[in-house]
Structure 1
Amino acid sequence: MLGAAGRMGQTVCAAVEAAPDLELVARFDAGDDFSVVAGSGAHVAVDFTIPAVTEANVHALIDAGIHAVVGTTGWTDESRTRVTEHLAQAGPASQGLGVLIAPNFGLSAVLAMTFAAKAARYFESAEVIELHHPDKVDAPSGTARHTARAIAAARAEAGLAPSPDATESGFEARGADVDGVRVHAVRLRGLVAHEEILFGNVGEQLIIRQDSFDRVSFMPGVLLAVREVVTRPGLTVGLENVLDLT
C-alpha cells in the first residue's frame, strides 16, 4: 500500500486485511525507502498518494515487476502515455504487467459516469458539478474530468453542437472547460465526494446525483481492481472497464 498513512490508505489497508483472499505485505509512505515495496514480494500495489509523486511511483512499480492500482488523481494524457510506453518497453520481469488508474472506485460513481455518457447524446445542454472536502488538492476532481470527457465524446459521436451559452463576461464563474463541458468545483467542510451531472432540453431536465458519505464506500471497487489488474496487461483507465456495464 503506497500512501498507507493517509485517510484512504488506512481504509484500504483495513479492507485488504479483512479480505480472505488478499494479504497486505508492505506499507509505504513519504520518506520510506522504496525497497520496502520492491522487496516485499507484492504482486499488486495500490497507490493513494498525491499527484506530485504518483506517476513516479507507477514507473518504479513497473520496474519492480509489480501490478499497480492507482486512485491518485492529477493524471494527464501525457503522463498516461508515458506509462503505456513504459509498459510496452518493460524488461522480462515486467512483461504482462497491468496498471489500472481509476478516477473513482465508488460503484455508484462509476455507474453515474456510465449513465451520463449514455444520456449525453439526448440533451442540448450538459454541465457537471463536483463537491468535495476542502483538503482535496486538485480541482476539478479526476472523477469530474473523466465524466466530462465521456459526455463530450458521446456528444461528438452524436454530432451535437456545443452546449448553448451566451455568456459575454464573467467567464471565471462558468467553471473549467473540459472538452467543451463546463465543470464546477465546490470545496466545503463536511463533504466527502459528491457529483451532480445536469442535462437540459427545452422543457425538461435530467439530474444524475452520486454521493459518497464514507471512504469505506470505495473499498469494494478497490478490491475488485486489485483482483482484476493481474489479468489485464497494459494500461486500463476507469473502473467501468472491469465491470459488466454493456
Structure 2
Amino acid sequence: MTKHIRIAIAGPRGNMGTEAVKLTDRTEHFELCAVIDSKNNGSRLKDIAGMPAVDVPVYTDINQCFQENTIDVLIDLTNPETGRKHLEASLAHGVSPVVGTTGFTEADIEKLSREAEQKQIGVVIAPNFAIGAVLMMKFAKMAAAYMPDVEIMEMHHDRKLDAPSGTAIKTAELIKENRASRRQGHENETESLAGARGADIDGMKIHSVRLPGLVAHQQVMFGGAGQTLTIKHDSINRESFMPGVQLAVEHVVEHKELVYGLENIM
C-alpha cells in the first residue's frame, strides 16, 4: 500500500513551486497541508491570483506552519539562503526536507548529514530534479574514464541567481571521480579578456549562459583524437522536474539519512 504523505511547499508562487502544487494536487497519496510564502500570511492559497484552486493556509513563518500542521515532508523550491534556513527549521521540527536549491558547500553537506543521522530524519538535496539531467551526469561520469578532456556548458533563464549552476558543479564533481586532475588546453594559453575560458574545476572549464527564453539546458563536450562526444539535456518547461520531485518525496520518508543528488536514489 502506498504511504500517505502530508506535504508543505515553500515558494508556491515561483515557477517550480506552482508545478509542485499541481503535483501534490494530482498525486493520490500526496496531501498538501500548507504553503510557506514570503507574503500573503493568513491567506488561503486558492485566493492568491494565478495560483491553483487548492484550499490550504499560507504562512510566512515556517515554524508556525510546522507548529499548527502535521507535516511529513517540506518541499523547498526557494533560493539558497532561504532554503538553508528552511532545511534547518525542518530538522528542528522532525520534518523531512526535499530541497531543490543550490549553493550548499561540502562543509554544509557534512554538517547537515551528521545532524540528519543523529535525528534519524531523511533529507534530499537535489541540484536538479530532472531525470534526464541526472542521466546526463551519470553518462558524463562514465565517459570521463575514456575521454578526460571535457568542458561543460550550462544555459539557463536570465532570472537564475547563481552561476555556474548546481547541476554543472555536480557534473564536474562526478567527472572528477573518474578523471585524473589535469590542466586542459595549450600550456601557454592566455585570456585576452578575463573569464573568456570560463570557470575552472580541477582543470575542467565551465561556461554559463543566461538568456530569456531558456529554461534549463546543459551539454558536456568531450574531445579526443579525431572525435568529440556531446552529452546534452534540455528541460523545456518546469513540469520536467516533477517526476524527480515525486521520487525524492517518496524516498525521503522511507530513509533516515541525507542524500545529495537525485542520482543516489535512482
TM-score (norm 1): 0.91
TM-aligned CA deviation for residue 100 of structure 1: 0.5
Amino acid at match of 2:124: L
> Is 1:65 aligned with 2:94?
yes
Between the aligned partners of 2:36 and 2:158, the Cα distance in structure 1 is: 25
Between the aligned partners of 2:222 and 2:102, the Cα distance in structure 1 is: 25
Q: Corresponding residue for 1:116? A: 140
> Is 1:179 aligned with 2:208?
no
Q: Corresponding residue for 1:25? A: 33
Q: Corresponding residue for 1:194? A: 217
Answer yes or no: is the 8 Å Cα contact 1:129–1:184 preserved in 2.
yes
SS, match of residue 113 in structure 1: helix
SS, match of residue 105 in structure 1: coil
Q: Which has the larger radius of gyration?
A: 2
From 44, 50, 53, the counterpart of 2:73:
44
**Which 10-residue stretch deviates more, 204-213 or 35-44?**
35-44
Cα-to-partner distance string for 1:12-60 (whole Å, 9 max, x where unaligned)? 0111110011111110012502211343211011111111221111010
Cα-to-partner distance string for 1:116-136 (whole Å, 9 max, x where unaligned)? 001001114101000000000
> Is 1:163 aligned with 2:192?
no
Structure with the bigger RCO (C-alpha within 8 Å, sep 6+) is 1
Answer yes or no: is the 8 Å Cα contact 2:182–2:202 preserved in 1.
no
TM-aligned CA deviation for residue 178 of structure 1: 2.2
SS, match of residue 23 in structure 1: strand
After the TM superposition, list the runs of 4 or more consecutive aligned residues in structure 1 that deviate by more than 2 angstroms: 85-89, 160-166, 168-171
Cα-to-partner distance string for 1:167-194 (whole Å, 9 max, x where unaligned)? 2234511111123321100001100000
SS, match of residue 249 in structure 2: helix
Cα-to-partner distance string for 1:118-155 (whole Å, 9 max, x where unaligned)? 10011141010000000000000000000011112210
TM-score (norm 2): 0.84
Q: 1:199 to 1:58 in 2, by over 3 A?
A: same
Between the aligned partners of 1:36 and 1:51, the Cα distance in structure 2 is: 20
Q: Corresponding residue for 1:92? A: none
RMSD of the TM alignment (CA)?
A: 1.4
> Is 1:147 aligned with 2:171?
yes
Amino acid at match of 1:51: P
Q: 1:238 to 1:165 in 2, by over 3 A?
A: farther
Between the aligned partners of 2:16 and 2:217, the Cα distance in structure 1 is: 16
Answer yes or no: is the 8 Å Cα contact 2:182–2:203 preserved in 1.
no
More helix as a share of residues: 1
> Is 1:236 aligned with 2:232?
no
Answer yes or no: is the 8 Å Cα contact 1:124–1:164 preserved in 2.
no
Give % identity: 41
> Is 1:223 aligned with 2:246?
yes
Between the aligned partners of 1:85 and 1:38, the Cα distance in structure 2 is: 24
